[in-house]
Amino acid sequence: MVKYTIRRLIQAIPTFFGITILSYLLMSAAPGGPVAALTFDPKITPQERERVAARLGVTDPLPIQYLRWLIGDDWMRWDADGDGIADGSFLIPLDADGDGEPEPPGTRLGILRGDFGRSFFARRPVADIIGERIPATLELGFAALLFGVTIGVPIGILAAVRRGGMFDSITRVMAVFFNAVPVFWLGLILILIFGSWLGVLPMGSRCPMSVSGGCPPIYERLNYLILPTFVLATGSIAGYSRYMRASMLDVISQDYIRTAKAKGLSARQVWFKHGARNALIPIATFLGPQITGLLSGAAITERIFSWPGLGRLAVDAVGQLDYPVVMAVVIISAVATILGYILSDIMYALIDPRIRFT
CA distance 299 to 202: 19
Q: What angle do CA 75, 77, 82 make, to 5 degrees?
A: 160
pLDDT of residue 224: 92
Report the DSSP beta bridge partners of residue 88: 78
Tally Cβ neighbours within 10 Å of residue 284: 18
295 pLDDT tier (thresholds 50, 70, 90) = low
- Supply the mean pLDDT for the chain: 80
Do 225 and 218 contact (CB within 8 A), yes or no? yes
Do 309 and 142 contact (CB within 8 A), yes or no? no
Quickly name the fold that domain 126-351 has: MetI-like fold (1.10.3720)
Do 231 and 298 contact (CB within 8 A), yes or no? no
Read off the pLDDT of residues 97-140 as tens digits, 9 standing for 90 and up: 444 444 444 466 788 888 888 888 888 899 999 998 888 988 99
Q: What angle do CA 171, 172, 173 make, to 5 degrees?
A: 90
Q: Looking at residues 154-172, what average pLDDT do you find?
A: 90
User: Which letter, b or e, does each residue of 180-202 get, where b requires 16 or more Cβ atoms within 10 Å of its Cβ?
Assistant: eeebeebbeebbeebbeeeeebb
pLDDT of residue 258: 83
CA distance 238 to 243: 9
Tally Cβ neighbours within 10 Å of residue 84: 8
pLDDT of residue 342: 83
Report the DSSP beta bridge partners of residue 352: none
Q: Where in the chain is the domain with CATH 1.10.3720.10?
A: 126-351
pLDDT at residue 141 above 70?
Answer: yes
170 pLDDT tier (thresholds 50, 70, 90) = very high
171 pLDDT tier (thresholds 50, 70, 90) = very high
Read off the pLDDT of residues 302-350 as tens digits, 9 standing for 90 and up: 889 989 888 889 888 888 888 889 899 889 888 888 888 888 877 777 7
pLDDT of residue 236: 86
- Strand ranges inside the chain, DSSP E: 78-79, 86-88
Read off the pLDDT of residues 15-73 as tens digits, 9 standing for 90 and up: 999 999 998 888 887 776 666 656 555 666 777 767 767 666 666 778 888 888 888 77
Read off the pLDDT of residues 205-253 as tens digits, 9 standing for 90 and up: 888 876 666 788 888 888 999 999 999 888 889 888 988 998 888 888 8
pLDDT of residue 105: 44
280 pLDDT tier (thresholds 50, 70, 90) = confident
Cut 0.85: pTM above it? no
Instruction: Name the pairing type of β-strands 78-79 and 86-88.
Output: antiparallel
CA distance 323 to 90: 13
pLDDT of residue 102: 45
pLDDT at residue 146 above 60?
Answer: yes
pLDDT at residue 150 above 70?
Answer: yes
Least confident of 80-94, 181-195, 248-262: 80-94
Which has the higher per-residue pLDDT, 52 or 260? Answer: 260
